[in-house]
Amino acid sequence: MHGLRTPLAILAVLATFDTAFAAGIITVDQKNLSFGMSNLQVSKGTKVIFKNSDSTSHNILITGPGVVFNSGLQRPGVSFTAPFGKAGSYNVTCGIHPKMKMTVEVK
């Protein structure tokens, strides 16, 4: 029975790994005109790296508690880092491709 619990415990951890992280640095990939995840929960002070793995340019727009941020043109292969230092809910979109959306919850 011990052998069955270990894989289940690992799966439970992996299932939450892509949306909840401790403060630090997290990379979100942009590919196929979408963000690598639609929801992300982080601790205050986390830096999120938006890596453009697409064949087209993007433009990261972040709005949240007292914040309106525009990355400017992000060409293919370029990464952009955004610090999330204040608790709250942030909307992240691409100014060029409005269907690209994600939410970052900062605790």
* Residue 28: alpha-carbon gap to chain centroid: 4
**How many angstroms separate the most distant Cα atoms in the chain?**
54
CATH of the domain at 46: 2.60.40.420
**39: number of CA atoms within 13 Å, CB side?**
7
Query: In terms of residue numbers, what domain contains 86?
Result: 19-106
User: What CA–CA distance (Å, rounded) separates 20 from 71?
Assistant: 24
What average pLDDT does the chain have?
A: 84
Is 28 inside a domain boundary? yes
CA distances from 28 to 7, 24, 80 (A): 27, 13, 10
pLDDT in tens, 30-75: 999 999 999 999 999 999 999 999 999 999 999 999 889 999 999 9
| Number of domains comprising the chain | 1
